[in-house]
Structures are given as C-alpha cells and as structure tokens.
C-alpha cells in the first residue's frame, strides 16, 4: 500500500508544477566563491531551450532577464557573477531570497499583486515578492489570455517569468537540500537514531524503507514525511535538465533533472540511471559541504568531470568550454571601450587637423574594436555550427561589424578621415544597441543562441540570403552615416570652401550606397528564391519581404535620380539620410507590425526609439534643405553631378 502511495506521490511530483517552494536551509555563505569553484560550476552542462549549454550561460541569461545585467552587487559590496549567483541560489537559497535581483519597472505591478512598492522603478528580492507570488501568477495568466495586451500586461508576464526563472534555478538544489524526517520508529530501525536524512538514503534503503513505513504506527509522522517528500518533488520538478541520460543521443535526446533521476531510480529498475544517482548523491554532498570551500570545490570538480565525461560520450560537450570562454571575454564591452577610444582620438584630431599620430591611433583603436566584433560574430557562428546571422541580436553584431569594417576600408582607400570618424561612432552605437537588446532577448527567449524554427533550418539559405541582406543593411546605414556627416559639416560650415572634400564625401556615400544595393537586391531575390523552396511561392507581399524591397527601391530611386542629374549633392545626401530610415524600418519596424510569415514578435519599447530615429533622419534631411537654401548663392555643392561619376 505504502509503496503505491510513494510511487503516486512521485508521479504527482512529476506532473504538478507551480507549487510553492519549500527550502529548509538557513545557511548563510561565509566566504566568497573561489575561482576554481566558479569555473567548475560554469562548465557544468545543462540542457535548456533545446540545446546543451554551460551552466554559466543558463545563469547569465537568467540573471540578465531578472536584473538587467549579468552581475549582482550585494549590500556588503560583493559582486556576484552569474555562476556565483546560481551557486548561492542552489546552495544558500535563504540568503539568495533576500538578493534584490528583480527589476520592477512599474510599481503598478506591485499594487496589482499586493506587495508594497519602494518607488516607481526599483529592485526587489524574491522574499519581498513572495507574498504576492500567487497573485502575480494569476495576473500573468489573465494577461497572457488577453488578445490585445498593453504594456502593463507584458510587464506582469515578464515579472512572472522572472520569478519562475528564479524558482527554476533554486529547484536545482531541492533534492540536495531537503531534510527528510522519518517517523521515529522507522528512523530508529533504519538509521539507529532520529536524525533527518537526505534523498540518497532512499536509494540505499528503498526496500527496507517501504517495509518499515508500511508497519509504522506513527501516522502523523508518516504523513509529515510524505508531505516533505511531496513538497521536495513539486519544487524540484521545475529544475532544468542537468544530467545526460546514460544512453546514446539517438536513443534518448532529452536530459533529466535531479527529481526525474530520483523518480526513475526508485521506480524503474531498468532506467539506466546508475551514474545519475551518483550525481544526485554528489549534489547532496555539495549541500552538506557548502561551508567548507575546499571540500565543496573538490566535490564540484568531481561532479563536473563525471557529467562532462558522459556528455562527451554522447557528443554534447564539444562547445561548452568554448562558450564559457566567449562569455568571460566580454567582447562587446571591450569593443565598446575601443570604439570609444577610437572616437575620442579622432575627435581630438578634428581639433588638431595636422596631427599625424592621432588619426593613426584612432585607426588602431577602431581596428581593435572591429576585430573584437568580428571575432565575436565568428565565434558565435562556430559555436552554433551555423552562418553568422540567425536572430535579431546577431544582426546587430553583424551590421556593426560590416559598417565599421567598411568605414575603415574607405579610410584606407582615401585617407579623408571620414570613414575613420564614422567607424567608431557606428561601433559605439552598435555595441550599445547590442547591450540593450541582449537584455530584451534574455527576457523574451532566455538565450541569444537559441534553436532555429524548422523552416529556418538550412545553412545554405542562412549563409546566402540572410547574410547578403544583412550586409545590405550595414552598408545602407554606413551610407546614411556618411550623408549625415556631409549634412552636418555643410550646415556647420566646416571647411566650407573645400569643394573637393564635399565632393569626396558625397562620392563615398554614393559608393557605399552602390555596395549596399548589390547586397540588398541579391539578398532580396534570394529571399524570394528561399521562400519558393520552402513555401512554394516566390513573393507574398509579407512585411519583411516588402521591407527588403523598399530598401532596394529607395536606393534605386536615389541612384537613378543622381545618374539622371535630377538631384545634386544637398538632395542626394538628404535622400541617403532618409534611406537610413527605410533600412531601420525594414530591419526593426516590420517586426513591430506583428504580421506575416517573418514576424519575430514585437520588442517592447522599440517603437519609441524608432520614432526618435525617424525624427532625427528627417531633421537631417531638413537641415540639408536649409543648407541648400543658404548655399544657393554659389558654393561648393553646385558641381554637376556627372563629376561624381568619374
């Protein structure tokens, strides 16, 4: 009878989720995590979102989604990296529940769930939110069923997702931290005392335990024990899959979380979980040794090595160490610093035009920034075994690489300091955008290297169509940057009489626009050819397809008008500036329309920045018109356009 009851309890633990957490630990960490411990935990693999990733990446994206950054500063001044945060959450959950790691951007959410707010936007701990947890989940459920969700709905759902992320990480420690209190008579019989025990005990004494529980007279203690077991199972059910099955991938692709191993180990003798049961015991040992850094480190390294060996045997560990190294290098941050240095030095060179070393230094800094960005793009591509652009985050990195690299190539060709001035500016903007969007991406999908939908699973078309069109975006934006440079210089009267300089800048914008057109047109048609291959139709007037076509049309209009002599430098540069708006529309805005087969979903808050961007580009075009009115009396810009086509 009791055997069936236990099996039933475990079964319910496997199927019921969303239950309230019960973590009995009251330990507070006495010393910071050391480097080796953090490294061992970081390189543990975990299967999440359909891919095997380092535990560090899982923790990093989770912390990014909750906290808006990959680190957490504690009140005592200690700065936790994602792995340290995860270790605290797993092995010191009571301490971690006080970490203020949840960014709540609107206090209305807290009013909704009955939690007192500090101010309109503030950080809160799990413990502070816990009292409104059930109300939060209910509000999120209501919000998700609404057809037209407003900003508050989305924020409620976002906070609920983050609370759940927190609970998922914490659940990794549920089997390790649990203290099971057996009925006294059973405890005496099996343990020789009445000390609480952990889950390993269940494996060691499962048969005896069932017999002993079946004959126990203490029904209250028995119920209490079963409730403890049930509570642990319910909480641990949320944990990510940490353990690879001990069979080839082709037989069992899905990894298991600790409680699944516990369930299989106890109820299915032929489940092949011998090693996993050992890993479960290892987690328990880690929980016991959490205040002994050396012993903890030793056990963690042993666990990591054992799990790694199994993952390697299944061919699923190949890129883990490389991914950890990639994220530890913080390439976007470093690139941003070098682009900033490049910009500062070139800005100084504007003040000292005769200086020779300032442009060289700027070139060096910018080139390092470009190299770091290109390295990041290439590294991510190698890690995934895919072409460089798979999602919106990738497009930011790739476009930044293309635009900055092309700027430097222009500089190498004509040494006018125009490409050199633009490259670091675009680099800074790109790196900043990458930072911002990574946070959004982590909140939405929990990963920037997630798996592809079935229809996108083709390296050939990703390498040709997506790469071409993204190069077209990058070059189109660089052309816009050059045109804006021309307009601002003209409006501010910089070297007003230097007709050659202005002609050269327009010539650069023209060349880069042609470069963009090549890739935009080829990329757009290739997109149609791909659609024909996968959907059986070449063109469906879908917003994303139209966006690409609009870029081609805008560039063709400008180039035909220029070639026909209908526009001169002021109008040309104004139109190229506006063409940047078309690129932005196609790159970002069509996603906000939330329609068509290419819809990647809306990104909250983007419309505001898009509007700012359009307003800025429009004002640049107006400024060019004002400059034209001023220059009409005879100036550098009155050359016939044919001179630019030499």
Partner 1 sequence: MKSKKTEKPLAGALGAVGSLGTACVLLMLLFVLVFAATLKYKDLGEAGVKQEFFIPWIAHLGALPFPGGRTVFSLLALNLLVGGLIRIPWAWRTAGVLIAHLGVVVLALAGVVNFTRSDYGMATLYEGETINNYRDYTQVELSVWDASQTTDVTEYTIGDADLRSCSRQGRVFSSPELPFDVEVSGFLPHAQILPKGPMWEADSPVVDGWALKREDAGNTDPKYRVPALVVRVGDQTALLGAGDYMAWTFEADGKLWALHLHHTRHRLPFKLTLVDTVRENYPGTNTPKVYRSDVIYGPEQRKVTISMNRPLRTEGHVLYQSNWGRDRRGEYSGFSVARNPSDQWPKWSCWIIGAGLILTFFSRLVRYTVIQARLREKEA
How many CB atoms are located within 10 Å of the residue 533 CB? 12
- Burial category of 413 from C-beta neighbours within 10 Å (exposed 0-12, middle 13-18, buried 19 and up): exposed
| Closest of 548, 550, 544 to residue 597, by C-alpha | 544
Q: Among residues 230 and 316, whose Cβ is nearest to partner 1?
A: 316
Q: How many CA atoms lie within 13 A of 371 on its CB side?
A: 7
In the 8-state DSSP scheme, what is residue 197?
B
Rounded (5°) CA angle 129-135-140: 100
* Closest CB 50 distance from partner 1, rounded Å: 3
At 11 the three-state DSSP class reads helix
Rounded (5°) CA angle 539-544-547: 95
* Closest CB 521 distance from partner 1, rounded Å: 6
* Closest CB 157 distance from partner 1, rounded Å: 18
What are the phi and psi torsion angles at 347 (to 5°)? Answer: -65, -40
Can you read off the two tokens belonging to residue 66? 């909750």
- Burial category of 89 from C-beta neighbours within 10 Å (exposed 0-12, middle 13-18, buried 19 and up): buried
Q: Cα–Cα distance between 42 and 28 in angstroms, integer?
A: 21
Three state DSSP letters for 482-518: HHHHHHHHHHHCCCCCCHHHHHHHHHHHHHHHHHHHH
Q: Cα–Cα distance between 625 and 620 in angstroms, integer?
A: 9
* Closest CB 553 distance from partner 1, rounded Å: 5
* Closest CB 554 distance from partner 1, rounded Å: 7
| Closest of 582, 571, 555 to residue 621, by C-alpha | 571
| Closest of 385, 3, 11 to residue 207, by C-alpha | 3
Are the C-beta atoms of 485 and 421 separated by less than 8 Å?
yes
* Closest CB 219 distance from partner 1, rounded Å: 39
Runs of H (alpha helix) within 192-330: 200-204, 206-215, 219-236, 258-267, 274-288, 293-313, 320-329
Q: Among residues 521 and 617, whose Cβ is nearest to partner 1?
A: 521
CA dihedral 86, 92, 95, 101 (to 10 degrees): 10
Can you read off the two tokens belonging to residue 247? 């069979």
Q: Cα–Cα distance between 35 and 584 in angstroms, integer?
A: 43
**DSSP β-ladder status, 79-80 and 72-73:** antiparallel
Q: Cα–Cα distance between 323 and 449 in angstroms, integer?
A: 10
Q: Among residues 140 and 578, whose Cβ is nearest to partner 1?
A: 578
Q: Among residues 9 and 567, whose Cβ is nearest to partner 1?
A: 567
* Closest CB 246 distance from partner 1, rounded Å: 15
Q: Cα–Cα distance between 144 and 179 in angstroms, integer?
A: 37
* Closest CB 475 distance from partner 1, rounded Å: 11
| Closest of 336, 342, 511, 499 to residue 420, by C-alpha | 342
Q: Among residues 132 and 523, whose Cβ is nearest to partner 1?
A: 523
* Closest CB 638 distance from partner 1, rounded Å: 21
Residues whose CB falls within 8 Å of the CB of residue 77, separated by 6 or more in sequence, listed in order: none
Using CB under 8 A as the criterion, which residues of the chain lie in contact with partner 1 when the complex forms? 47-51, 241, 253-255, 413-415, 451, 453-455, 457-458, 461, 507, 511, 514-515, 517-518, 521-522, 525-526, 528-530, 532-538, 540-543, 546-547, 549-550, 553-554, 556-557, 560-561, 563-564, 566, 590, 593-596, 646
Can you read off the two tokens belonging to residue 138? 């209910």
Are the C-beta atoms of 373 and 424 separated by less than 8 Å?
no
Q: Among residues 68 and 596, whose Cβ is nearest to partner 1?
A: 596
In the 8-state DSSP scheme, what is residue 456?
G
Q: Among residues 22 and 458, whose Cβ is nearest to partner 1?
A: 458
* Closest CB 60 distance from partner 1, rounded Å: 19
Q: Among residues 79 and 357, whose Cβ is nearest to partner 1?
A: 357
Q: Among residues 207 and 453, whose Cβ is nearest to partner 1?
A: 453
Are the C-beta atoms of 389 and 395 separated by less than 8 Å?
yes
Residues whose CB falls within 8 Å of the CB of residue 250, separated by 6 or more in sequence, listed in order: none
Q: Among residues 281 and 644, whose Cβ is nearest to partner 1?
A: 644
Q: Among residues 215 and 532, whose Cβ is nearest to partner 1?
A: 532
Q: Cα–Cα distance between 72 and 85 in angstroms, integer?
A: 8
* Closest CB 355 distance from partner 1, rounded Å: 17
* Closest CB 341 distance from partner 1, rounded Å: 26
* Closest CB 509 distance from partner 1, rounded Å: 13
Q: Cα–Cα distance between 561 and 122 in angstroms, integer?
A: 53
* Closest CB 249 distance from partner 1, rounded Å: 9
Q: Among residues 74 and 522, whose Cβ is nearest to partner 1?
A: 522
CA dihedral 142, 145, 148, 154 (to 10 degrees): 60
Q: Among residues 247 and 557, whose Cβ is nearest to partner 1?
A: 557
* Closest CB 547 distance from partner 1, rounded Å: 7
Q: Among residues 455 and 492, whose Cβ is nearest to partner 1?
A: 455
Q: Among residues 394 and 411, whose Cβ is nearest to partner 1?
A: 411
């Amino acid at each position: 009878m009791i055997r069936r009851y236990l099996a039933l309890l475990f079964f319910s633990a496997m199927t019921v989720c969303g239950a309230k957490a019960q973590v009995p630990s009251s330990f507070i960490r006495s010393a910071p995590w050391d480097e080796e411990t953090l490294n061992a935990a970081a390189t543990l693999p975990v299967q999440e979102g359909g891919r095997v990733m380092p535990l560090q990446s899982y923790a990093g994206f989770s912390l990014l989604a909750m906290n808006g950054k990959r680190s957490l500063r504690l009140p005592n001044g200690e700065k936790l990296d994602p792995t340290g945060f995860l270790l605290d959450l797993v092995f010191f959950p009571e301490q971690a529940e006080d970490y203020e790691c949840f960014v709540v951007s609107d206090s209305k959410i807290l009013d909704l769930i009955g939690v007192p707010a500090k101010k309109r936007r503030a950080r809160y701990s799990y413990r502070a939110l816990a009292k409104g947890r059930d109300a939060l989940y209910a509000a999120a459920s209501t919000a998700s069923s609404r057809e037209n969700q407003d900003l508050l709905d989305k924020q409620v759902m976002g906070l609920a997702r983050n609370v759940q992320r927190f609970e998922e990480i914490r659940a990794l420690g549920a089997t390790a931290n649990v203290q099971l209190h057996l009925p006294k008579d059973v405890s005496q019989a099996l343990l020789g005392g009445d000390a609480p025990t952990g889950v390993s005990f269940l494996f060691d004494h499962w048969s005896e335990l069932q017999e002993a529980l079946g004959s126990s007279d203490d029904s209250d203690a028995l119920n209490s024990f079963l409730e403890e077991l049930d509570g642990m199972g319910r909480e641990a059910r949320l944990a990510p899959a940490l353990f690879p099955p001990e069979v080839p991938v082709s037989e069992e692709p899905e990894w298991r979380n600790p409680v699944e191993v516990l369930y299989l180990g106890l109820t299915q003798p032929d489940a092949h979980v011998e090693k996993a049961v050992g890993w479960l015991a290892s987690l328990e040992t880690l929980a016991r040794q959490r205040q002994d850094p050396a012993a903890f480190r030793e056990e963690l390294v042993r666990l990591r090595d054992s799990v790694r060996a199994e993952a390697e045997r299944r061919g699923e560990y190949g890129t883990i160490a490389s991914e950890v190294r990639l994220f530890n290098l913080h390439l976007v941050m470093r690139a941003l610093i070098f682009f900033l240095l490049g910009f500062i030095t070139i800005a100084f060179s504007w003040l000292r035009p005769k200086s020779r070393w300032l442009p060289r230094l700027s070139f060096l800094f910018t080139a390092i920034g470009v190299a770091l960005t290109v390295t990041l793009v290439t590294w991510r591509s190698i890690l995934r075994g895919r072409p460089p652009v798979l999602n919106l985050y990738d497009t930011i990195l790739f476009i930044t690489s293309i635009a900055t690299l092309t700027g430097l190539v222009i500089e190498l060709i004509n040494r006018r300091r125009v490409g050199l001035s633009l490259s670091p500016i675009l680099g800074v903007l790109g790196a900043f955008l990458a930072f911002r969007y990574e946070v959004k991406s982590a909140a939405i999908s929990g990963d920037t290297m997630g798996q592809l939908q079935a229809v996108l699973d083709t390296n050939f078309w990703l390498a040709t169509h997506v790469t071409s069109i993204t190069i077209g975006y990058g070059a189109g934006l660089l052309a816009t940057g050059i045109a804006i440079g021309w307009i601002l210089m003209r409006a501010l009267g910089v070297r007003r009489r230097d007709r050659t300089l202005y002609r050269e800048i327009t010539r650069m914008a023209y060349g880069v626009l042609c470069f963009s057109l090549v890739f935009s047109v080829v990329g757009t048609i290739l997109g149609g050819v791909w659609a024909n291959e996968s959907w059986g139709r070449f063109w469906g007037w879908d917003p994303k397809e139209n966006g690409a076509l609009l870029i081609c049309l805008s560039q063709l209009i400008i180039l035909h008008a220029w070639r026909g002599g209908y526009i001169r430098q002021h109008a040309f540069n104004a139109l190229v500036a506006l063409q940047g708006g078309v690129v932005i529309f196609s790159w970002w805005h069509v996603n906000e329309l939330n329609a068509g087969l290419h819809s990647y979903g809306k990104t909250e808050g983007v419309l505001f920045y898009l509007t700012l961007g359009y307003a800025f580009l429009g004002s640049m075009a107006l400024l060019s018109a004002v400059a034209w009115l001023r220059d009409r009396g005879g100036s550098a810009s009155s050359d016939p356009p044919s001179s630019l086509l030499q």
